[in-house]
Amino acid sequence: MVTPSVSFGPFDFFAKSIPGAVLILGLIPLLSQRHFEGIIGDVGTFSDLAAILVMVFILGMLVGELVHTLSNLAEKLFYKLFFTPNSNNIEQRGGSQVPILLLERLYFMYRPHRGVFHDVMNGEKIRGKEVKEKLDIPFDSFVEACDEYGIWHLKSNSSLYPMVMSNLSQEQNWRSERFEVIYLLCRGMWAVFLILLLLYLVSICLYVPIWITIRGPEVYSIDILPIIMLLSLALIALIFLIASKDYKKTMIGYVLSDFCVYVQSKEVGSHD
């Protein structure tokens, strides 16, 4: 009987624990001092601080699972808002909401990595050019490797990507795996900072009317600090969003390259 094993790897730490921990820490300023002290208690020694950090990362794993799911859904939602496939040509939904110069960037930002891979394999076009032409990938070599491995016929029904990734997962230290972890980290982080941005915005919008009602409008003055904070959250979310786009493109290229190397290594091994 095979006993299933539970492992904790780089994917779990970087793509789940870190975004989850950042979200937990980002929610602390929204708590009142009484609630904060009740949860954290007195931090008197280094061991107390270490125990709190361990607790945050353990809870971050659970929260990060939720963030991972939400970021995946957000990608699909934003893509459907901006784009619609039509006869092997990815076009803007509704015609002209997105400036043409931003169209390609938005596609790679919000198209899930499985979708980008599927578009590359099936000759989808964006702005009149095939998606594969916009990526630095060994497409022809990959087709030959898939054909030799007997799986190229799966390209039309979305089964090729999981088959390729399953074969690569049999061995470790592929470059594509590293870039996948970084891409998922960036995706999780832009989702986290977007969530924090919305929560802080709601908190500020609720606080200001209550403050004016209690103290009167003459004692309330606009504080620049919340504005700076909201702009900072938006900027950080944008930076991670752009980074996730770049790492996604790099990851797709290395998936193709790694599979070519994988098939070649199998051929060499069979001859030995």
| Per-residue pLDDT tens digits for 247-263 | 999 999 999 999 999 99
Q: What is the mean pLDDT of the chain?
A: 81
Higher pLDDT, 90 or 21: 21
Q: Is 185 exposed, middle or buried (0-12, 13-18, 19+ CB in 10 A)?
A: buried
Enter the DSSP assignment of 15: I
Query: What is the model's pLDDT at position 92?
Result: 64
The answer to whether residues 136 and 253 touch, using CB atoms and an 8 Å cutoff, is yes
Name the band, by pLDDT with cuts 50, 70 and 90, for residue 219. very low
The mean per-residue pLDDT over the stretch 32-47 comes to: 56
Task: Find which of 11-15, 97-101, 247-251 is predicted with most confidence, using mean pLDDT.
Answer: 247-251
Q: Is 100 exposed, middle or buried (0-12, 13-18, 19+ CB in 10 A)?
A: exposed
The per-residue b/e assignment along 103-126, b for 16 or more CB within 10 angstroms, e otherwise, is bbebbbbbbebebbbbbbbeebbb
Query: What is the model's pLDDT at position 214?
Result: 46
Lowest mean pLDDT among 35-44, 167-176, 230-239: 35-44
The mean per-residue pLDDT over the stretch 183-195 comes to: 95
**pLDDT of 243 over the 60 cut:** yes
**pLDDT over 90, % of the chain:** 36
Query: What is the model's pLDDT at position 211?
Result: 47
The answer to whether residues 197 and 240 touch, using CB atoms and an 8 Å cutoff, is no
**pLDDT of 79 over the 60 cut:** yes
Query: What is the model's pLDDT at position 1?
Result: 43
The mean per-residue pLDDT over the stretch 207-221 comes to: 50
**pLDDT of 222 over the 60 cut:** no
Query: What is the model's pLDDT at position 155?
Result: 83
The encoded tokens of residue 55 equal 């607790």
The answer to whether residues 194 and 235 touch, using CB atoms and an 8 Å cutoff, is no
Name the band, by pLDDT with cuts 50, 70 and 90, for residue 82. confident
The answer to whether residues 245 and 102 touch, using CB atoms and an 8 Å cutoff, is no
Neighbours of 48 (CB within 10 A): 13
**pLDDT of 56 over the 90 cut:** no
